[in-house]
Amino acid sequence: MNHYILETHSLTKIYGEHKALDSINTHVKKGAIYGLIGRNGAGKTTFMKMITGLSNPTSGDFLINGHSENELKTVRKMVGNLIEAPGLYPEMTAYQNLKCRCIQCGIKDNAQINKLLALVGLSNTGKKKAGKFSLGMKQRLGIAMALVGNPELLVLDEPINGLDPQGIHEFREMLLKLNQQGITLVISSHILDELSKIATDYGIIHEGKLIEEITKEEFFSNCMDKVIIRTDKIEKSAAVLERADIHDYTITDDTIQINSHVSETGKLNALLVSQGITVNEIYAKSESLEEHYLKLTGGGK
């Protein structure tokens, strides 16, 4: 049985002479939190608009839970989205906004409205109009509206942009709660440190191309811990390491990076000091998601 809820096959979008998305092949597992990473203009929003039916591919296709994009009625029920600003009626309450959304979807069960308000933490907004909501509350209401009809896949484009630290924390907890209830999430975000706290898989898009698709486990395995040594005697330090049969290192300015011996920083320090080398700094470090992304895209240059 197919375990992917979303598959894209050579998905391409061309605007005039500009290829916004170039033959994207993605694989999103059921139950995953799939983090979509890329700079502005990389193609993230274009990708999300196509898989949610807001834009048509120039070529290529995709499957939602094994169903072709051409099975429009079936596919649309499976996908909820919050792309760009949530489409709210500012003069209506949260309940009224959800009521309108339910009517549009042909849903007559008002009990679902209260369940959704509770799920996103808006049960106590009462008669307060949506136009008076904070940014975080508007985002929560936007997600509640995207959840009308119980979609299996929720697509969120930069959902935590503009939120304060408390709002980001609360939003993160809400997304994890949704995922625990069986909803697969595809999320784009510029805040990579925050994304790394919840994502189970990553897709990195650069200049319209998918340059890497990697699980969280693969990321931690590939982006191994390393030892960073700062000293004024780089060449002498390198010679000492070579004599000690340590060869898996790189040199940058006044820094030596060793891709092994992470648990032996004390021994490495003693070795260098014994050869008359002053070690200004030595520590173990893991490559962050941001560093990995910049290395792949050349953004750190």
Is 265 within 8 Å of 291 (Cβ atoms)?
no
pLDDT digits (tens, 9 = 90+) for 22-48: 999 999 999 999 999 988 888 999 999
Cα separation, 288 vs 277, in Å, equals 29
Please indicate, yes or no, whether the overall pTM of this predicted structure exceeds 0.85.
Answer: no
pLDDT digits (tens, 9 = 90+) for 258-273: 877 777 888 889 999 9
Q: What domains does the chain contain, in order, with CATH numbers?
A: 4-219 (3.40.50.300), 223-297 (3.30.70.980)
User: pLDDT exceeding 90 applies to what percent of the chain?
Assistant: 40
pLDDT band at 1 (very low <50, low <70, confident <90, very high): very low
Which residues, including other chains, have CB under 8 Å from residue 298's CB and lie 6 or more apart?
none
pLDDT digits (tens, 9 = 90+) for 59-76: 999 999 888 877 767 777
Of the candidates 269, 295, 287, the one whose C-alpha atom is nearest the C-alpha of residue 226 is: 287
Dihedral sign from CA coordinates of 57, 183, 38, 136: positive
Span 107-120, average pLDDT = 87
Q: Which pair of structure tokens corresponds to residue 126? A: 């009462």
- The whole-number pLDDT of residue 299 equals 63
Report helix, strand and coil shares of the chain as percent, to nearest 5: 35, 30, 35
Which letter, b or e, does each residue of 239-270 get, where b requires 16 or more Cβ atoms within 10 Å of its Cβ? Answer: ebbeeeebeebeeeeeebebeebbeebeebbe
Is 98 within 8 Å of 120 (Cβ atoms)?
no
pLDDT digits (tens, 9 = 90+) for 46-57: 999 999 888 899
Is 94 within 8 Å of 141 (Cβ atoms)?
yes
Cα separation, 161 vs 171, in Å, equals 11
Strand 225-231 and strand 79-82: pairing? unpaired
- The whole-number pLDDT of residue 301 equals 47
**Three-state secondary structure readout of 14-42:** EECCEEEEEEECCEEECCCEEEEECCCCC
